[in-house]
Amino acid sequence: MPLTARSPIWLHFLQDAALISLAVILSPLCTFITTLSSILSPYTRFARQIRQQRQWRSESARGRPRTVLVTGVGMSKGLFIARAFYQAGYTVIGADFEPFYIPVCGRFSRALKSFYRLSKPSSNCDPRAYISSLLGVIKTENVDLWISCSGVASAVEDGEAAEAVQSMTSCRVVQFGVDMTGLLHEKHSFIKNTERLGLNVPETHSITSIDEGMRLLHPENAYLDKVFIMKSVGLDDSIRADMTLLPFSQMNRTRTHLVTLRPSPSRPFVLQQFISGPEYCTHSIVIRGKVVAFTCCPSAELLMHYQALPTSSEVFGTLLKYTQIYAKKMGTNMTGHFSIDFLLNHESAEEDLMKKVYPIECNPRAHTAVVLFAEQSVQMAEAYMAIFSSKNDPITIPSTVFTSSDTGYYWVGHDFVTQFILPLATFATFKTPFSHLRHNWTEFFQHLVYWRDGTFEVWDPWPFWALYCVYWPCIFASRMLSGRKWSRCNVSTTKVFDC
């Protein structure tokens, strides 16, 4: 079980110390693998293909190849997109926030011509400093295209930055503006907008007080035939994983639960209908209302394993159709990354799958599922270039780019701890049976042999080394020094969940 806010501080200190020690112990192995890859990779077929593609791009370009700025290269999604543009022959500039000046892994990628540290927007930092630093990079490097790979905490600020970049430079931007980002980012406004477009949605209510929640969950003189879950509109990591089904049969239990959540006008929640069935996430690139790249895969509350659905599957086709209809109805002003989380209602008697899929939230930003385009990385990079077509002409790309491989993606650092170390520890202390250990170890070694790591590339290995030998040890050390407690961390997005 992960530690919580109630866990003693010494346990959190021990957790950080143990993970730092593990990184130190494995650093020689990581260094050996990285160095060996650096020596051998120039002689591989894939490296030769990259050199040929870049040479072709340089010779065929009218003038210099376009320069692309990718922000968020410390996250796997940003790093992947930067590598894709490099493989396609473009000049790539990387930028990201570096908390406590800890270097992010993308800084070490050979895909980048140069890297810039950006001022991070927060409650203690004027967003104008972030926008100013971003504009400085664009003007200094003469950037033609900015690909925003924002995290959840900076989505709205990236919307502001997008509008500033478009108004003050000639740089094209793949990022929604402020209004559209806010509309899609906020759970309740996203559902309302989806309903306005005539698409299927779960019943959703905005909750800003305990009494408001009680009236909806225990209506007078009415029978409630649905169950709901409460989701925070803000970024409260401590209740992110709370999936309590409401209402309880006793009103006092429901009220007690709402009291612990503390909904208020400054701490809003959404009360959303619970749909029983599998969850899926999507990632799409939308250029002026057209979906130019799309993928989807099974999802989870903390998703660390990615495997694309076959393009021939009925679910894939339905989620693609839903996304295309949404983008088309939003109009030609819609340009950016568009990701929706869906639930498929297995209990519904509807035959039309479009009436059985329910969107539960939207991420108006790049999704980590973009790594599933590894086999189509060059085609994906070219899909972005549809933004340079004339607004008066139809977008001239042959067809939407889909993922074609069923290869799974994982992060070895996450799996090594959660599927190798922890199961061994719980088995050794007689907390779990041998079958639990065997199951986790089998899955770990299957991933190690048959799946691909979301960060490691033979031709570009140093970001992998920096992630595990520099970034995470420093992050855990900073947590020890500050005394901040955490319950989970996402290796792919580098997000640490406070508790």
pLDDT digits (tens, 9 = 90+) for 146-186: 999 977 667 788 999 999 999 999 999 999 999 999 999 99
pTM over 0.85: yes
More confident residue, 224 or 69: 69
The answer to whether 273 and 202 have CB atoms below 8 angstroms apart is yes
Question: How many of the other CB atoms lie within 10 Å of CB of 285?
Answer: 26
- Which residues make beta-bridge pairs with 230? 271
Instruction: Please report the pLDDT score of residue 128 as a whole number.
Output: 87
Which segments of 297-420 does DSSP mark as H helices, in order?
314-330, 377-384, 412-415
CA distances from 124 to 11, 121, 156, 479, 483 (A): 30, 8, 16, 19, 20
pLDDT, averaged across the chain: 92
CA dist 332 and 74 (Å) reads 31
Q: Is the pLDDT score of 234 beyond 80? A: no
The lowest-confidence range among 221-225, 236-240, 487-491 is 236-240
Average pLDDT over residues 485-498: 94
Band of the pLDDT at 394, cuts 50, 70, 90?
low
pLDDT tens, position by position, 306-330: 999 999 999 999 999 999 999 999 9
Instruction: Please report the pLDDT score of residue 2 as a whole number.
Output: 78
Average pLDDT over residues 35-41: 97
What's phi and psi for 496, nearest 5 deg?
A: -105, 130
CA distances from 19 to 1, 13, 22, 462, 492 (A): 16, 10, 5, 20, 17
The answer to whether 369 and 306 have CB atoms below 8 angstroms apart is yes
Average pLDDT over residues 398-406: 87
Instruction: Please report the pLDDT score of residue 121 as a whole number.
Output: 77
